Structures are given as structure tokens and as C-alpha cells.
Chains A and B, each alone.
Chain A
């Protein structure tokens, strides 16, 4: 009987806690979907720290956006789509409406994109997500700013072509990828390019979480591709680089995607990863005034989210860039809908679509060295994609190439084709821009 009473009390208490806490109305709410646990934690932790740090900086240094302070709440997804959806549902209507979601995961992006249409919330997916969602006429609510996996793959091929005196014909390029929607994203573009440029594409899927890659790299040793494109994340990256070292594949022939190229991926391997190339979104390897401001206004006051040593690492800077785009979207939307007051999700979406970050504005924000101008429009939700190749030298990343932009001759038709398919499947009438 006592057991039953206790259990009944617990159940009642549990039921009463399911009421969500209300948020203050004079603040702009930014939900932060993060993964600080699970197989992607090594990537997720600095990313999440970067996002939160920048929001704190805006509040501390600028007093918010035109006086409207930013409130934020983190929700742990562990890269799981179901948890991501639960976090999304819980946070989408908080405050005056969520300013935008950065799900940090291609899988969660897929799950949440359909709901975003109905809920009218923007999904910001810089450097990941559905590559065809650059087409704003169909994907009204998705914003793959600064780069997608197709632009990344294209830039990698451009850099390789440069090394190979301009032609990829007859070469063998392997794609070692995380066997999930994230890893499979570049395949359509790579296949197209292989057909057009005459190189052979070999695909090597790695079962998540990717701790066991011996067979993959043994096969690579046998098949001797000229270059390896490495689409991994989290623990799969160091595991792969270590296996590459153990099987003797030259690291300078490996190109990691931007999520596979951050300090935490290679610093434990140190000299063993020397030569490993990665692509950066714009120039996230650089340092600029924003890092100094962050130290001055946030870390020196003890308000930093992560360890101070994380400031300036690739993943952390990328997190800050993503948060900056969110904040600038809010600012742009305020210009349209009313300065100094909190906005709804739909209004912030307008902001995302009308971003115009000129070189001067970026310099004023402290991102002048890190980013190049970005301008979005109704039909173009990508903005402008710039990338650079950086290389690990055993202790730090060195910028190895000049600025690249993806060659749109293959990407644009693919975007059109797949976004038309999406529109047909989902019964969406494309907007006219």
C-alpha cells in the first residue's frame, strides 16, 4: 500500500511538471538545438559553445539587437531525429516565437523541414542540410547559408584539379562517408562531376558511429585512389585519420569536409595528421576582432560557455558565424517590421531572406577577416558561398589556398531538378520571386 501511495504521488507530481514555463515578452528568443553528448559530441560541444558565446556577446557588448535582448535556451538532441523534433516542438513558440532553428544535423533538418512549413519558422542550416534547399522559391523556410555539401564537394574538386594541373581525367577519387543522410548528400553532385570530368568515383560507406574503419582503409590501400574525400563527423574523423596513418595512406591526399576539420579532430593525433586538408566555410580558420571582443566582454567576466582555450578554434568560430547570421537576420527583420521590438518567427524569416552583409558591415561586426560579403534573396537562400582549403601541420591549421567559389554549372541544374521533385512530392507551389 505504501509503495502504491508513493508511486501515485510521483505520478501526480510528474503530471504537474509538464506545464511549460512562459518566457519574457520583451526579449527575442533564440532556441539552441545542440548535441553535447553522443557520437558527435566532439563536434557539437565547440559548435554549441560558439553559438551561445556570440549571443552572450551581443547582449553584453551591444545590449541586444537595437535594445531587444536575446534570450536563449539549449536543448540536447544527441543528433537523434526524434529528440530533435521534440526539442523543436517544445521551443518553437517560446517567447514571441523562435527566431530560427539551427538543428546542427542533416537528419534533424529533414525531420523538421516539413513541420517548419506549417509552423512558419525558419530553419538555418549553414554548411549542411538539404543541398537543394538553396532554392528559395520551393524552400521558403530553409536557409543553407554560406555553403552546402554540393558547393563543398565542388570546391574540393577544384582544389584537386589545381594540384593535378587542371584536369581530373583518369584520376580515381574515393569518398569515405558516414553512412547516413549527412554522408550521402554530396554523392549526386560527385557522380555528375565524375561523368562530366572523367574521373572515377569510388564510394566507401562507413557504418556509424565509424569507430571501426580498418576494412575501409585496407580497401583504400588496395585500390590506391589518388585522393580521398572524407565526409565524417564526430568520433569517425579521428578514427579515420588514425586508420589512414596506420595503413600508410598519405594524409595530404585526404580532404575532410568542414565538419571533419576542426582542432579537436586532429590535435590528439598531432603529427600523425600532418598534411590533412580540410575545407572551411568562408574563412573560419581566421581570427578577427570578434574573438577579442568575445574575450573582453564575455570570457574575462567569467561568462564564457566553454573553456577559454576553445575560442578561436575552427568549430567554435563556425558556431559564432552561425549565431551572427541569426542575429543579423533579426536585425534586418527589425528594419522592416519595427526597430526595438521583439519579432515573430515569420518576421525573422524575412530577415534571413534579406540579409545584406557588406564588407564594411562585417568589419564593424568584427568578422571582416573571417567572412566575405553575403547577400540572400527570395530565390537564393544560399547567399554567397566562399571557401578555402586549410591544412594541418601537426600543431595548427595553415591557410593553403585562395578563395574558392563553387562552379554552379553542375550544381544549379541539380538544385532545380531536386527542388522540383520535392515540390511535386509535397504539393508545394513554388513562389514567384
Chain B
């Protein structure tokens, strides 16, 4: 009833290939953006910003990057944490060594460094495939773990290996309060999501998807595997690098190499799988799920009035987490995005059954 496309005729090619062809979609998106930019900053508490919204946004950005690699191009990568680390440390070095470096340039610099790294570690993907590649990307993870720990230049000579950023500011505008940090992250994520969505709808995106579905056939019809795979690694690493820089600068403020360890890589992969492979919206769903789940699991015992020791609560959290992952994979292997798109399909016909 609400979602009918009656009367919405496209009179130009441009309108036909628009990102949101249905008007209701456009309104919904505008509403969501208004909610995110205007309503949330005025309503949410400090804790909600710091513990929920900002990590959600940054991890969603990283998940978009990983989704491009795993979901659209089919190259399983377990080294995402390492690329986030590269982005974070590169941005840190730019910020600290160059006087008066604008924040955005540091972030982009971090992304570029991660790109170089990503392409380098993506070269094996030209020869190795599937699970072997997944495990080979762990080489990147552990190497970067060690590199950031051992090489003093990376941490600007910090004797403890821990680095910190104070005072984010750009063009004289400071980002101190949680609201400002939230708006910064939101803007960056919105821009990147738009860029990513358009990339995957374009020729390069179709190349990636062809490589994912059947790379031999793709190369037979003229898609260059080197170009497709390495661009996937490059774009993905860029986005992940920017996300890593944001994670370090905005969310953590002060971090050590262990902050970007293998657990982060697994966490991002979970987000992408649960959210939905091959879907930009799915990255957001997955990130929301993974960010909210531990918090909810922490509050449920409170809620039910049980008093559990923190160790028990933590183990139960692990167990529920693992069980939910398996449950989701059984119930909807294509992730939350598929559930959402099924809902939309049903909504287009509602209240009619077909």
C-alpha cells in the first residue's frame, strides 16, 4: 500500500539508473539522514555516542571496505585488522610529524598507506585462492602486528609502543565533544558509503562480481584478473585504512598495536557475513549487530535480576555470540541484508500476498 511504484515513470536514462529509483526509498533515505544528522545529536546521551554510535559508524565503514573485498570480489581476507592498523599508524605519523596537518588529510593519508599495503599483500591472491588465501592473509595480520610493535619509527619513538592523539581539529574547527566526533564520523561514513555504492554498481563492481562468481569464465570474456583483484584490494584497503585511522583517532584516542589484532579481523568478518555479503546496507546491519550484541548481553542479566560473576557473564557472552552466529548462518545465510530486502519486497506488495 505504501510502497507502490504506480505513477513513477522514468523519463530519462539518468532517472532510470538512479541510486534510489523509487520515490518512497528516497524519502526514507532522506528521513534516515535527517534522523542521523539532526535528531540523534540532540537526543542521544554521551555514553550512547561514545560506546555505541561512534564505534558503530567506524566499524560499519570498515565493514563496507571488507565487504567490497569479500562480498563483491570473493577474496576472503583475514588481515583486515592489519590494514586498519596501517591506516591508524600512518595517519598518526602524518598528524604528529607534519605541523598543522588537517585531520582529513591525515585520514586520507592513512587510507593511502593502507592501500599500498593492501595491494602488496593482495598480490598473492593472483595465484592463491579460497581458504588458502584466507590463511595467507593472516601473514599480513601477524606481520603488521609485529611491525607496529617493533619498529620505533612507526610509533614516533614511543618507548612503550603506545601512541595517542589529542585535539582533533580541522580548518580551525575542533572535534572535542562526542557530538562533534559523531558528526565527523557520520559525514565521512555517509560519503564513503555513497562512493562505495556507486563503485559497486558500476563497471568495476561488475568486474569484481564476475571474479567472485567464476574467475576463469570472467577472464575468458576479457576481464583482467590482475586488474579486478588488485583494484578490489586497493579500494577495500583504502576504506579500511580510513576506518582504522578513525578508530584510533576518534574512538580510542590512545592505542597500542594489540588494538588491531586478529580479534578485530574476525569481528569485521563476522559483521560482513551476518550483515550480508555483497551488500552495502548489509555492512551497516552487521556492524550494528556486532556492536549492540555485547552491550545487550551485558544488560540482560541486570534486567533479569541475576547477579553473575563477570567471568561467567563474559563466558556466556562468548557462548551466546557463537550460538547466534551459527543460528544466523543456518536461518539466513545471506545475512541481515537479505532479510531486509525480503521485507522490502513484501512491503512492495503489502497488503496483498502477491
Contacts and interface: CB of A to CB of B under 8 A. Distances in A.
A and B touch in the complex (CB under 8 A): yes
Interface of A: 1, 3-4, 7, 14, 17-18, 20-21, 34, 36-37, 41, 45, 48, 74-76, 78, 80-82, 85-86, 89-90, 106-107, 110-111, 113-115, 130, 179-181, 184-185, 187-188, 205, 207-208, 418, 425-427
A427 B253 contact: no
B346 interface: yes
Given A74-B310, A76-B311, A82-B259, A21 B47 contact: no
Interface stretch (B78-86, B119-127, B297-305): B297-305
Contacts of B258: 80-81, 107, 180, 208
Nearest to B176: A118
Interface stretch (B31-39, B98-106, B109-117, B162-170): B162-170
A427 B256 contact: no
Interface stretch (B48-56, B198-206, B209-217, B276-284): B48-56
B177 to A, nearest CB: 10
A415 B329 CA distance: 54
26 contacts: A3-B331, A14-B292, A17-B296, A17-B303, A36-B311, A41-B311, A74-B309, A75-B310, A76-B313, A82-B251, A82-B252, A85-B252, A90-B51, A107-B256, A107-B258, A110-B162, A110-B164, A111-B252, A111-B255, A114-B254, A180-B258, A181-B161, A184-B161, A185-B160, A425-B164, A427-B166
Contacts of A76: 310-311, 313-314
Contacts of A113: 254
B339 interface: yes
Given A18-B52, A111-B255, A208-B258, A4 B343 contact: yes
A89 B296 CA distance: 16
A17 B300 contact: yes
A4 B344 CA distance: 11
Contacts of B164: 110, 114, 425
A418 B52 CA distance: 35
A180 B166 contact: no
Given A1-B346, A76-B313, A111-B254, A14 B296 contact: yes
A285 B203 CA distance: 70
A3 B330 CA distance: 13
Contacts of B147: none
A346 to B, nearest CB: 18
B11 interface: no
A21 B302 contact: yes
A87 B257 CA distance: 20
A115 B259 CA distance: 17
Contact of B311 (A4, A37, A426): A37
B166 A81 contact: no
B151 to A, nearest CB: 13
A20 B47 contact: yes
Contacts of B346: 1, 4
Nearest to B264: A82
B253 A111 contact: yes
B190 to A, nearest CB: 22
B149 interface: yes
A418 B158 CA distance: 10
Given A36-B311, A179-B149, A89 B259 contact: no
Given A7-B339, A110-B164, A184 B159 contact: yes
A319 B180 CA distance: 39
B310 A89 contact: no
Of B50, B146, B302, B311, the most chain A CB neighbours within 10 A belong to B311
Contacts of B47: 20, 89-90
A36 B309 contact: yes
A184 B256 CA distance: 12
A4 B48 CA distance: 25
B337 to A, nearest CB: 13
A357 B67 CA distance: 58
B12 interface: no
Contacts of A187: 159
Nearest to B49: A89
B303 A81 contact: no
Nearest to A130: B160
Nearest to A191: B159
B1 to A, nearest CB: 15
A78 B339 CA distance: 34
Closest 7 CB pairs of A and B: A36-B311, A181-B160, A76-B310, A17-B299, A110-B162, A74-B310, A76-B314
B313 A4 contact: no
Contacts of A106: 160
A81 B255 contact: yes
A181 B339 CA distance: 44
A80 B332 CA distance: 31
Interface in B219-271: 251-259, 263
Given A17-B300, A181-B160, A426-B166, A78 B254 contact: no
A31 B48 CA distance: 20
A352 to B, nearest CB: 22
Nearest to A428: B166
B315 interface: yes
A90 B47 CA distance: 7
Of B52, B160, B339, the most chain A CB neighbours within 10 A belong to B160
B30 interface: no
A82 B255 CA distance: 9
Interface string B131-162: 00000000000000010011000000001111
Given A18-B48, A86-B51, A184-B161, A110 B254 contact: yes
Given A107-B162, A110-B162, A188-B159, 9 more contacts: A1-B346, A4-B339, A4-B343, A81-B255, A81-B258, A89-B50, A90-B51, A205-B149, A207-B146
Given A37-B314, A45-B311, A76-B313, A110 B166 contact: no
B319 interface: no
Contacts of A18: 48, 52, 295, 299
Given A111-B254, A180-B256, A37 B166 contact: no
A180 B313 CA distance: 27
Of B50, B166, B300, B310, the most chain A CB neighbours within 10 A belong to B310
Given A18-B299, A37-B311, A3 B339 contact: yes
Contacts of A107: 162, 256, 258
A425 B166 contact: yes
